[in-house]
Structure 1
């Protein structure tokens, strides 16, 4: 099954596993190295001497294996591989290791993954909590820099130290899910986890596998889902890793134009090789199976789909039909989604895909890639570009906020304000807002309300919710001291209230991925940089969202509403509670039987400067 690409639980077979043979306890080792001449296990138990504990080849499978008595859990080891190709000899970390030494050390460590889970209630009910009609609000975070020790050397908190702090914070701010940047083992901390060497190993920087299980278990027990970034698009080139594993290009393409990623300096998997598909499929299911992960966000899908991604003409190889589509990767992604949803129908897969590739989040049986959700990168870039513009000139770029609704129902979207937008000189969200300090805070509050008001699930990278004023630094904590200031606390309060509204108001989430969930009221007031739309529930609830992207108060602004009665102001981003100037409508207003904007009724209200107002009515 492994050789034909259909084994999806290789972690039960390959790697190191405790065993008893002939009454003697030890570990059984197995590794795939089909082109090796000789494979042996070296480690603490044999003085790291090659050949002391050789493995035997299993017929024609390419797998080498054997039992070594006396090996204990927690023992460091590698595979010594000798190849006939140019006398190549190397010590490799186990591709199926469950844990490894703390970097920069690189040995695998024998480990038993036994753990007593206490999240049965969550596991029974988690499916509807991440479904398309659910309020899914995701807090994206880098575990190593979210909150660090306040005392020198300011180290990252461990999995167990983070657990109660994170659960309490997520409950207070109202997010439904946490998304961790990759927790798979990686040698360079500055890669944020995206240069992977251990596809089955939880990084040991923050503790043991059981410590990570405890963190996930703790979050589940407090009603918080866990999504993890997973990186099948490329892998690290460190010698102890997967590259040139048995003296040949085993995991990666041999042709550099196919097997080396010029933008990230990493290797690219050979998706057409059966065993590689089994390896990656097993990795995906491993995290869902052994760690109770609720969703996988797949990194850099666009780089997998296109053979010419980040390459110049002449630096890439066309497919067999002369095109630029990576057919092997496309087949793999469809198989990945099929296997995930077959074995774990109550989780979701999420694609970070930045192009116009069609049907990313549509089922494979209609020709889609099969993902549950897709990041709306276009929305993110258009929105941030618009908010960076001087309000005086926004009227000339009105379509940057209206364009998104032309394609909003093409996929099941997540609206991300992700880590990629607050690094490498791009500045924090707060500093992307135009204007003086007051306008930056008001603009940030309005942009967040715009994100939560639009169709699509929500994602925010850590620090955005407190108006972080510096770029994200992977080796330093969020600037939590900013919460000593009312303006920063106000943004945090707004995010908590947006999440509360999003969860409690069906109109804001039930039809997030359906055409019937959104209608423009007025998207043509470019001169005033005003936008208004209505969000709809499956029932009769309606919420009208109005945005003023200028620093001018709009008094007696008439806006059409879809029904009569009292329209209650359920959110105003200019409230003093959020750090605003308290321009509002005294709690709401009555609709008049006066048609406007194609609606049978209308209200005359005050819209605060750089502010958003949400009105709720029932039809």
Structure 2
């Protein structure tokens, strides 16, 4: 007997389909994630639950919750001063400093706020003054010690004793000149920099020197964003700023907070966004300068047991499951945006946060590796809330995740089940270039492999592409230019004195940058000096080098010297960025492969009306090499082999190239474009 479907049955079926939850956004876009949808939903719901808890079910905003910096720390009030600290394990707290000859005084004794772990001290206006140094003297059961307050906004180091202290800071408020600013992301072109080593002189550079001497270079070169490292105060200069001690204090070794504000203000006036390399993945172990044992509880801010110390970084790992720690870190994000007007953050060490293993020794070969129970849901929740907070404060803010495991959804929207970053670092690309340069002969460079690698990313996540990381510039590693040329840079980098190694290195340096930058789907990043092939590694002052600053600087004089080859690379980098800006919303423009031939080592692709053609072949030049492209005429706008960029100038770039008719492709509106392509060169043509 045939079955019948009644209207009632149809209504029930329709209702069931309607009630059935749709796949969450990132699963809709990637069906291979379906087996892990429960885990993805669980993380999303956990973050929503925590957000509701912290905001009293939405009765206040996340930004209102993240205001600890306005409450804790030392603040000048209308009448006097108020100091507050979260120290639940403390039994007594005194402020000691210049104002009381560093002795305990009952007038400077804080009291515990009943029923909380908070301590408070109110003082008269004359009790301290701008510039006074101070610390907390904290007592706990069985011990005591001097500590720098966790929420201190100004910390300085004595030049002779090297001891760090908090400093009373109450200058005239900085008057901002540029009150409205929105970052340009079309495309986002980031110049990664370090204030201290950003000058020629063998010393620690300052915010003011960077503002006056380096910002104009960055603007002239065409970058529209700077990513500043080492802003949060750190005891050891050579840590590159990654062992933070005072999270709310801009490093005083570079100058005052007002000078940092002036730098940011000036950058905004130049149309340059400013993002900060923020470190929330770990903290320095130091107890006298940092949070390691603020009040007798080594786990006040950090995980306990085996999870407290990072096994590879000699640092401490935050406990993201504690509301007070989340409050501290979220407030830190808001503070830098509110007080200094940073346009966003590059979050360091995200892989370390995501996994109990910190990602160490894991291969991450398939999706199951991201959902097998070894993920720190507390950290994932914190990062999700941080992204929501940052974009609540400034919807146009920029957040970037430095993450190596490839966790799906990291740079997907929170509403889609993602963690909410705007971009993730395309960390596969520099690894690929290192491996290629080290292990493959030039004859074995395959354009198909190069093209696949530079665009190897999730379709629903935007990335920041880069050729080399700042780590490669450190002693013990090598930048791309040094891998290509090595010591010959010291002897054959003068015009007219180049040998074969230098000629090869200059050519490939330009080609590597061009193919990496022009295949982006989000942004492009360069570490300062690498654009012109800075020859020296970075070696911060240390005992092993006699505490020398010789290699902790950038030698701008090299790129300024027109008798040397460095300016060829710098000039090329500038023209490359100009070329990318010829296409509106370049990063979102379709990336269309035109041709590749691994035997010839030829690659061609288009974005908008720009055609990019590469010949990676080290010895073969090609005459009349044909590509099927949209019908029309094409003019050369950039050639890596041009003499002005250190090439041979073999091709005549003044010629307008016309496509050749082919009846077979009339319906496709395509014809053959035939070019002369010298060995080891690339050319960009613009369709008229």
TM-score, with structure 2 as normaliser: 0.80
CA distance 1:501–1:586, shift in 2 (3 Å): closer
Match of residue 470, structure 2, among 406, 419, 429:
419
The aligned counterpart of 2:329 is 280
Aligned residue pairs total 583
Secondary structure of 1:460's counterpart equals strand
Q: How does 1:242-391 map to 2 (within 5 A)?
A: 242-309=291-358, 311=360, 323-391=373-441
CA distance 1:175–1:322, shift in 2 (3 Å): closer
The structural deviation recorded for 1:403 is 3.5
The aligned counterpart of 1:71 is 128
The aligned counterpart of 2:511 is 446
Q: How does 1:516-535 map to 2 (within 5 A)?
A: 517-523=590-596, 525-535=597-607
Q: 2:610, 2:525 → 1: CA distance?
A: 21
Q: 2:539, 2:85 → 1: CA distance?
A: 37
Does residue 33 in structure 1 map to residue 87 in structure 2?
yes
For structure 1, the residue ranges without an aligned partner over 5 or more in a row are 314-320, 537-541
- The answer to whether the Cα contact below 8 Å between 1:140 and 1:460 also exists between their aligned partners in 2 is yes
Q: 2:358, 2:623 → 1: CA distance?
A: 51
The structural deviation recorded for 1:379 is 1.8
Q: 1:443, 1:561 → 2: CA distance?
A: 26
The aligned counterpart of 1:394 is 444
Greater Cα offset, 284-293 or 390-399: 390-399
The structural deviation recorded for 1:3 is 14
Give the aligned CA root-mean-square deviation in angstroms: 2.4
Greater Cα offset, 258-267 or 474-483: 474-483
Secondary structure of 1:37's counterpart equals strand
Match of residue 147, structure 2, among 92, 96, 100:
92
- The answer to whether the Cα contact below 8 Å between 2:593 and 2:605 also exists between their aligned partners in 1 is yes
Q: How does 1:230-245 map to 2 (within 5 A)?
A: 230-240=278-288, 241-245=290-294
The structural deviation recorded for 1:406 is 4.5
Q: 1:254, 1:403 → 2: CA distance?
A: 38
1:424-461 Cα offsets, whole Å, 9 max, x none, are 42212212237711101111011111122112311000
The structural deviation recorded for 1:557 is 4.5
The aligned counterpart of 2:531 is 465
Q: How does 1:444-523 map to 2 (within 5 A)?
A: 444-456=509-521, 457-474=523-540, 475=549, 476-483=552-559, 484=561, 485-506=563-584, 510=585, 512=587, 514=588, 517-523=590-596
Q: How does 1:575-594 map to 2 (within 5 A)?
A: 575-587=642-654, 588-594=656-662
Q: 1:421, 1:119 → 2: CA distance?
A: 36
Does residue 8 in structure 1 map to residue 76 in structure 2?
no
- The answer to whether the Cα contact below 8 Å between 1:3 and 1:274 also exists between their aligned partners in 2 is no
Larger Rg: 2
The structural deviation recorded for 1:547 is 1.2
Secondary structure of 2:506's counterpart equals helix
- The answer to whether the Cα contact below 8 Å between 1:430 and 1:440 also exists between their aligned partners in 2 is yes
The aligned counterpart of 1:217 is 265
Secondary structure of 2:418's counterpart equals coil
Q: 2:261, 2:122 → 1: CA distance?
A: 28
Q: 2:483, 2:671 → 1: CA distance?
A: 37
CA distance 1:244–1:565, shift in 2 (3 Å): same
Does residue 45 in structure 1 map to residue 99 in structure 2?
yes
Secondary structure of 1:232's counterpart equals coil
TM-score, with structure 1 as normaliser: 0.89
Does residue 570 in structure 1 map to residue 628 in structure 2?
no
The aligned counterpart of 1:612 is 682
The structural deviation recorded for 1:351 is 0.7
The aligned counterpart of 1:539 is none
- The answer to whether the Cα contact below 8 Å between 1:573 and 1:580 also exists between their aligned partners in 2 is yes
1:351-376 Cα offsets, whole Å, 9 max, x none, are 11111200111111111010011110
CA distance 1:218–1:553, shift in 2 (3 Å): same
Q: 1:605, 1:254 → 2: CA distance?
A: 62
The structural deviation recorded for 1:293 is 0.7
Match of residue 178, structure 1, among 215, 226, 229:
226
